[in-house]
Structure 1
């Protein structure tokens, strides 16, 4: 049985293929279209799933859509959605998603749809490996729900209740993200990274912006919030109450901005811990499944884990809307097979495209790019790469199947020496081209994790923060508060990456490498060898390892570098290509 799951038309549209309960492939549209957070129907990702699954469109038994467009429209109409954000009023067409799945994808079979938060919950629980669990999903908003609580047993999920729009923990966090001059729906993690530079001086003020009539409830004071505006999510009263003007994007980050970020992080953790504690009283399970965009706040989820309220916690690796495609597909698969079997739990998230050695060789030959050919000599390749890392060089690392989700996990990564005190600044300034306060993550051999990082469990998806406790000096991966967000690497799930870190460990005594996503600012993570070459040419990366081929920057012609740079200048379109309107709304709810 082949079931396709789709999330689309809001942000991070994605497609997944599940066959007989097993994930065959999955990818987000942005990786193919090269438009960050692409929300359009995932045509390219759909095509990839057909090719990778070796099926035709007639082999699909069902397409499952991740939300209920009828309920969503009722909320948009009732809350007076600001029509100036979409003058053509296409958002009123609640049949659009189903019609375009048929017309654009060419699919004529059965289409099922599920409530947004049920898709979130299913995308976590059915791939967790748990037989039962408490459920907490929290994000900006689905149809009406912004947070839902429930429990799961066997192949059944029951959502008992939740918090309704406009009351939303996610939108509360996004409002202050907006106030701090970062982009909503993608800049929230920047606020989390900024928080350790501040002090919680605004905590009491932020607490007065909401109330919790009971431990599972959450109500915003709507005198300070307005989610129907185009350019901002807060009112004039909010500005007066906070006491300083909103930060202009790209302007200087002052101490007051850092303090507000820290205060926000503190109250977010307080809210979630209260909810989780009450949920435990209501659900008799040692397990907790988390999903929704707020679950990607790894500082908050670590606080939940440290509270020991639940014995075991599973966070969906792609907890935002992209991961809901998994949940919708799982729900449809279980429904269609009569609840006879569920889905295999995740052991990895390497579900994207991969490229054979000969294919990469042909690309390099066609483009006349010189490379060191180390096919079938992995040991030599590792030694050559380690030589360069020790010399202080930055490595673009492109191997195997692309990761699904927001984190690069050693298949589409940028790597460097964590012991280099100048590496963090170099990566932020010359390579990633982003804000200097942003931290970098370590990839650590799982067998040596406890010697260097205060972590008691595996963290294969880079969804956990913890303290660095190594006797090694690791400035490139240690945040200002002494924390890091590690990826633990095993030979079973990632043999190539594990062997490289092992080679580095044997030479240096350090079983850790800096691991950040293979992209530059405002670009999606690279997908194809062409993407990797373009990013290489347009950044400060010193060496590109493309499968079994090593390309030093000195091997690139000046003509190629100029071509890569000019190409990047035109990647981001001035208009939304789906409906042709100017991109002006910061949060439209479409």
Structure 2
């Protein structure tokens, strides 16, 4: 049975294909169109999935959309009626779009699918899953567990913002939910907006900014914005928000409560903004922890699966793990809306078609490597066509040359195998660096990524060595858990440096791997083993042999505002438009100084800030 899952029309559109229950391909549309968070129907991603499986559209049994448009329209109408006449301007702008496109989304989907093949009876194949059903299916059915508790958290689907339940074998039962407008995701997005970052894009910046502040406003949030119960259920005070009927997330009452207007993105960050970030992060962690504890106390499972955009909050995930109410947790690597494409297809296969689930040995996401790959011949041809100068090395030479470049403090673009699915680069489309360098974090942010200097980088670490460096002794292949650097790997902070505040703390080395140690001694960890990414594993092993350090800085291969690179041409353009020193694609080794000056690009202002 062949089932195509689709998520589209909001942000991070994607396509995923499963064949007889196995995920064979998945990709976000943004990687092909080069438009970050592209919300449009994933025509190109769908074509890729079909090509990867070696089938044509007529061989599909079902196409499953990741949510139900009529329920979303119902929520829109009921919300505006509940708040009328307030918000009429927002209603007037939204309704024509819904009436023209979204209310009749079945015909819109049919028309888009006809672009792929207009000889297919698409209506006969088309199914719709609930938004949070898609999230839950992506979490449980793709997990390595035969049974588990499930928690999904995001901004909003049709009505649901938080759901909880249980999965067993090929069944899924969501037993509890919290509905719009009460939403942990929208609470976090309100502070994303208020601190001057983009909603649905900048939430991870707020998480990265939080350790620079103190949670001074956490009690204010709990006293005024949210009524949080012991079991994690909550209600927001909507008098402080404008997202139900307005065109902004917050209002003047919110501004007055927190002592100022919304930060303009061009304005400098102040200590107050860092304290706000720390505060909403602290409250979010408390909500998530209470929800997880409540599920654990029911005693139905020692396993927990997470999905939804809030499940990308790896700091909260790490705290769930450390509380040890669950023996094992698994977070869908594409936890946001893109992963809904995977979940919709899996939900159709197991729940609609009633197909059994194979006994899981590993998770079904294949390390996240579900996107396009390129043969060595294709790589060489494509690099030649764009005028790149490269050497083709044997594998035995490629790894030592790359290690040498890393030891020389060079930034290395690393392009190998199948592209990752989801927001994280996991060693297939990565920029790598030496974590022992005190200047690497700031240098990569400003010279290579062209982004804010406070943004942390993740350590990729050999699985066998993770417990010797971090307060973690479990798998974290998808960079979804935060843990502290062990005290034995830390460096004492000088007396004068202890008094620094905010961003001033950025350049104080705190461990022997300062480039991946955040200001609170934490790190967002990716564990690497030989099974899922053997070449990346070999590189880490060789770097350890040369330096004694089994860790590399791993950040996504892109610049600010650009999607992660997909093709060799994308990688070469990014290489020539940034201060990446070395590019390794397949067995091709490229040095910046060997390239023609005429091919250099100005990438610094090529993309809008994200």
TM-score band (shorter)?
Answer: over 0.9
1:232 aligns with 2:286: no
The answer as to 2:7 corresponding to 1:7 is: yes
**How do residues 177-196 of structure 1 correspond to structure 2 at under 5 angstroms?**
177-196=192-211
- Counterparts of 2:441 and 2:230, CA distance in 1: 44
Equivalence for 1:583:
none
Q: CA deviation at 1:97?
A: 3.3
**Gap change, CA 1:84 and 1:551, over 3 Å in 2:** farther
1:247-326 counterparts in 2 under 5 A? 247-282=263-298, 284-326=300-342
Residue aligned with 1:79, SS: helix
Partner of 1:439: 456
Judged with a 3 Å threshold, the aligned counterparts in structure 2 of structure 1 residues 446 and 146 are, in CA distance, closer, same or farther, namely: same
Residue in 1 aligned with 2:507? none
**C-alpha distance after superposition, 1:543-589 (max 9, x if no partner):** 1111111111012212111xx337x866669xxxxxxxxxxxx9xxx
Quote how far apart the aligned CAs of 1:337 are: 4.2
Match of 1:161 among 154, 176, 182: 176
SS, match of residue 348 in structure 1 = helix
The answer for the alignment partner of 2:45 in structure 1 is 45
Q: CA separation in 1, counterparts of 2:92 and 2:607?
A: 26
Return the alpha-carbon distance in structure 2 between the equivalents of residues 539 and 514 of structure 1.
Answer: 17
1:509 aligns with 2:548: yes
| Counterparts of 2:526 and 2:21, CA distance in 1 | 27
For 1:212 and 1:228, how far apart are their aligned partners in 2? 20
Partner residue of 1:74?
74
Asked if the contact 1:22/1:343 (under 8 Å) is kept, the reply is no
Residue 283 of structure 1, CA deviation = 5.2
Q: Tell me what 1:576 maps to.
A: none
Secondary structure of the 2:367 match is: coil
Q: Is the contact made by 2:471 and 2:484 (CA closer than 8 Å) also made in structure 1?
A: yes
Matched, 1:210 2:222: no
1:102 pairs with 2:103: no
Shift of 1:148: 0.9
TM-score (norm 1): 0.93
The aligned counterpart of 1:25 is 25
State the alpha-carbon separation in 2 of the partners of residues 342 and 446 from structure 1.
Answer: 26
Aligned to 1:334: 350
2: CA distance, partners of 1:431 / 1:213 = 44
Q: Would you say the 8 A contact 2:448–2:578 is kept in 1?
A: yes
For residues 413 and 99 of structure 2, what CA distance do their matches in structure 1 show? 41
The Cα shift of 1:402 comes to 0.2
| Contact 1:83 1:89 survives alignment (8 Å) | no
Residue deviations 1:96-147, cap 9 Å, x none?
A: 4322332222252411111100110000000112122111111000000111
Distance 1:337 1:238 in 2: 48
Judged with a 3 Å threshold, the aligned counterparts in structure 2 of structure 1 residues 434 and 85 are, in CA distance, closer, same or farther, namely farther
CA contact (8 A) 1:132 1:287 kept: yes
Match of 2:572 in 1: 533
For these two proteins, the number of residue pairs brought into alignment is 569
Q: What's the CA shift string for 1:270-300, capped at 9, x where partnerless?
A: 1111122222233511111111100100001
Is 1:397 aligned to 2:418, yes or no? no
From 358, 382, 385, the counterpart of 1:363: 382
Aligned ranges for residues 428-507 of structure 1 at < 5 Å?
428-469=445-486, 471=489, 473-507=512-546
The equivalent of 1:580 in structure 2 is none
Quote how far apart the aligned CAs of 1:266 are.
0.9
How far apart, CA to CA, are the structure 2 residues paired with 1:363 and 1:340? Answer: 43
CA distance in 2, matches of 1:117, 1:527: 29
State the shift of 1:95 in Å: 4.8
Q: Which runs of 5+ in 2 are unaligned?
A: 81-86, 115-119, 490-510
Determine if the alignment matches structure 1 residue 127 to structure 2 residue 142. Answer: yes
CA contact (8 A) 2:230 2:290 kept: no
Q: What pairs up with 1:532-571 in 2 under 5 angstroms?
A: 532-561=571-600, 564-565=601-602
- TM-score, normalised relative to structure 2: 0.90
Change (3 A) 1:260 1:95: closer
Paired residue secondary structure (2:368):
coil
Q: Distance in 2 between matches of 1:192 and 1:5?
A: 30
* Shift in Å, 1:339: 3.2
Cα RMSD for the two superposed structures: 1.9
CA distance in 2, matches of 1:283, 1:114: 28
Deviation at 1:448, TM superposition (A): 1.3
- Residue by residue, what CA displacement relative to the aligned partner does 1:146-174 show, whole Å, maximum 9, x if unpaired? 11111122211111121111111110111
3-state DSSP of counterpart to 2:459: strand
Equivalent positions of 1:516-527 (< 5 A) are 516-527=555-566
Query: In the aligned structure 2, how far is the partner of 1:497 from the partner of 1:193?
Result: 26
Structure 2 residue matching 1:454: 3-state secondary structure: coil
| Partner Cα separation in structure 1 for residue 248 and residue 70 of structure 2 | 26
Pairwise CA distance, 1:343: 8.6
More helix by share: 2
Shift of 1:94: 3.9
- Structure 1 range deviating more: 500-509 or 465-474: 465-474
Which stretch shifts more, 248-257 or 23-32? 248-257
Supply the distance in 2 between the matched residues of 1:342 and 1:69 (Cα, whole angstroms).
Answer: 32
Unmatched runs of 5 consecutive residues or more in structure 1: 574-585
